[in-house]
Structure 1
Amino acid sequence: MIWNEPNNKSHWDPAIDPDWSRYADMVIRAGNAIKAVNPEMTRVLGGMSPIDATWLQRVEGHGALDAVDVIAVHGFPLDWNLWPIHDWPQKIAEIEAVTDKPVWVTEVGVGSFGAEEVQVFGLNRTAELLIGRVPRIFWYSLFDLPMAWGAETRHREAEGSSYYRHFYMGLIRPDGTPKPALDDYAKVAGEMGLMQWFHFEDPRLDDAVQWMRRLGTKKLRTGLSWADSFRPNALDWFDRQMEALAEFDTTVTFCFTPEHLGVMPHHTSAAVEPQAFADFCAQMIERYAPARATATVAA
């Protein structure tokens, strides 16, 4: 997947790229670079949030869709979106109406901020509405985000409860105990994958693998951070992460601009040299999913 939520200002700065032409250029470069390394690799446009057919047509107008194979959407109707959970089929249809490419739901979730029973309802209703409707679904997420780590969003506490909901999206609490919805997820784990971000040198990695084995999860979406690639020992961490996840059908999201390479010093900034991001994507594909081994999906 080429970036994460590029139409959401928490992940892509629209002040720098108001018409998404810089993003489209980056997608074209990255998509072509990935294909040059592994022509069989499935290339996924960064999952849009909100779901917006007009935005998709805008980046298509810049030529970006010629460099991807799949369109991705993210939806959180009980937490952040202004539409009811029952509208999922309609939201998928809105995107299908403007593209002939497959549509994946690469993030969907319901948090337990208000009540853990709400998450149980949300997971089961999501499964009813989406399994069999789209080729791939990834539930966000396995683990709650620890409060001490902070969420990747621009306005933080100024968002009120919207900010704090970020910390309750997991099926497992920060202390390692399961929430009630975990048992319901286990019933559909073979058909609904998990989306789990792993922070740099994340101590939860091995526990995540054990949980996914136990649950019967087959598909996983995660990320490799371009910004993290400049940390000391970055490749050691990337190697450890990808080796641990090798048994799963993994969709990898490439995202986050290194501060020193952005138009502005922020991970949401467009890069001064977008080819540098494309080169990073190509290097990661060559390292973890070369043409002789195509189990990983570039997302």
Structure 2
Amino acid sequence: MIEAAMIWNEPNNKSHWDPEIDPDWRLFAEMAIAAGQAIKAENPTLPRVLGGISPIDPSFIRNLAERGVLENVDVVAVHGFPLDWNLWQIHEWPARIDEIRAVTDKPIWVTEVGISTFGAEEVQVWGLKRTAELLIGEVPRIHWYSLYDLPRAWGATTRHREAEGSSYYRHFYMGLLREDGSPKPALEEFAKHAPEMGLCQWFHFEDHRLDDAVAWMKRLGVKHLRTGLSWADSFRPNALDWFDRQMEALADFDVTVTFCFTPEHRGIAPHHTSPPQIKEEFAEFCATMIRRYAGSQAAPTPTGRVLEAL
């Protein structure tokens, strides 16, 4: 069921990692290395993915490489939103991928790409078709963000909020389905490109959309899904019950599970973007989730055969 484990989300975006506490990403690198090693110790055959970077920045990858992070991951991921937030045009996608290829020999996945319908729903149709033309065959994994619009009552996971002006409100209109579950015009276009194009859908704690999302994804022919398990949520009452329900519901998909979000009481600062006080606690969360949902495996034998741990 679990295809890969992703370590954090957009670590070079201040909405997901605090650069005031960790301006050179030394603490992030130490945490990512600990998590990568813990995941490998539990399941050495499971690909470890560096959290998708946004913006696409080769200097950030070089920094992490110099700190030893790339020795502890198997895939590098990028995120791009050229019609909404990035300062480049959609046709530049291959060039942006090449910028990262120039600084690492790791496989590159696009684990979030999307287009808001904030201005017009027809823009998303054109943009999805053009994105498919540019990226299918260029990278081995593409995850369209997202299936659902973000409910306005929830708020977007960003530290900028209304200071972004209209850009903030684009967060709420990234779905192929509207908040009420009705389809947008781009849904039909997406179906033409599944399963080559997967989905990224974040599920909130006890998300009421889970079962409907599964039904829609099966109807669309989705094979690859990216979602998350929140370290912060793991401290909620009945957290494991919810994690079990979510992962059981997603059992028919190849899932890239993202581990992120610092619990307020375990961060250097009381915020989900903070580096943890003790990096090993995040690593242990990752290991526990892998053990629970991906299983532990022994190291490969000399013939390459993997023996399951007793």
Tell me if 1:5 matches 2:1.
no
Q: Which runs of 5+ in 2 are unaligned?
A: 1-5, 299-310
Query: What's the counterpart of residue 40 of structure 2?
Result: 35
Query: What's the counterpart of residue 25 of structure 2?
Result: 20
Query: What's the counterpart of residue 144 of structure 2?
Result: 139
Q: Secondary structure at the match of 1:19?
A: coil
Query: What's the counterpart of residue 153 of structure 2?
Result: 148
Tell me if 1:121 matches 2:133.
no
Bigger mean CA offset, 45-54 vs 149-158:
149-158
Mapped to 1, the partners of 2:297 and 2:67 lie a distance apart of 32
Q: CA deviation at 1:292?
A: 5.5
Q: Secondary structure at the match of 1:236?
A: helix
Q: Deviations over 1:223-264 (max 9, x none)?
A: 000000000000000000000001000000000000000000
Query: What's the counterpart of residue 228 of structure 2?
Result: 223
Equivalent AA in structure 2 for residue 113 of structure 1: F
Mapped to 2, the partners of 1:132 and 1:155 lie a distance apart of 34
Tell me if 1:181 matches 2:183.
no
Query: What's the counterpart of residue 305 of structure 2?
Result: none
Mapped to 2, the partners of 1:185 and 1:111 lie a distance apart of 14
Equivalent AA in structure 2 for residue 117 of structure 1: E
4+ runs of 1 displaced by more than 4 Å? none
Mapped to 1, the partners of 2:290 and 2:181 lie a distance apart of 33
Mapped to 2, the partners of 1:86 and 1:152 lie a distance apart of 27
* 2:149–2:174 CA contact under 8 A, matched in 1: yes
Q: Deviations over 1:49-89 (max 9, x none)?
A: 00000010001111111100000000000000000000000
Aligned sequence identity (%) = 74
Query: What's the counterpart of residue 271 of structure 1?
Result: 276
* 2:231–2:285 CA contact under 8 A, matched in 1: yes
Mapped to 2, the partners of 1:196 and 1:288 lie a distance apart of 18
* 2:36–2:48 CA contact under 8 A, matched in 1: yes
**Alignment map for 1:21-100 (pairs within 5 Å):** 21-100=26-105
Q: Secondary structure at the match of 1:106?
A: strand
Mapped to 2, the partners of 1:11 and 1:255 lie a distance apart of 9
Q: Deviations over 1:87-136 (max 9, x none)?
A: 00000000001100000000000110000010001100000000000000
Q: CA RMSD in A?
A: 0.9
Q: Which of 200, 217, 223 is the equivalent residue of 1:212?
A: 217
Mapped to 2, the partners of 1:133 and 1:17 lie a distance apart of 33
Q: Which runs of 5+ in 1 are unaligned?
A: 294-299
Q: In the comparison of the two structures, how many residue pairs are matched?
A: 293
* 2:35–2:284 CA contact under 8 A, matched in 1: yes
Equivalent AA in structure 1 for residue 293 of structure 2: Y
Mapped to 2, the partners of 1:43 and 1:292 lie a distance apart of 15
* 2:162–2:168 CA contact under 8 A, matched in 1: yes
Q: CA deviation at 1:175?
A: 1.1
Q: Which of 287, 291, 295 is the equivalent residue of 2:292?
A: 287
* 1:3–1:254 CA contact under 8 A, matched in 2: yes
Mapped to 1, the partners of 2:161 and 2:202 lie a distance apart of 18
Q: Which of 235, 253, 266 is the equivalent residue of 2:240?
A: 235
Q: Which of 139, 150, 164 is the equivalent residue of 2:169?
A: 164
When normalised by structure 1's length, the TM-score is 0.97
Q: Deviations over 1:182-223 (max 9, x none)?
A: 000001111000000000000000000000000000000000
* 1:141–1:196 CA contact under 8 A, matched in 2: yes
Mapped to 2, the partners of 1:253 and 1:96 lie a distance apart of 22
Query: What's the counterpart of residue 112 of structure 2?
Result: 107
Mapped to 2, the partners of 1:190 and 1:74 lie a distance apart of 19
Equivalent AA in structure 2 for residue 159 of structure 1: E
Q: Deviations over 1:260-293 (max 9, x none)?
A: 0000000000001000000000000000001369
Q: Secondary structure at the match of 1:90?
A: helix
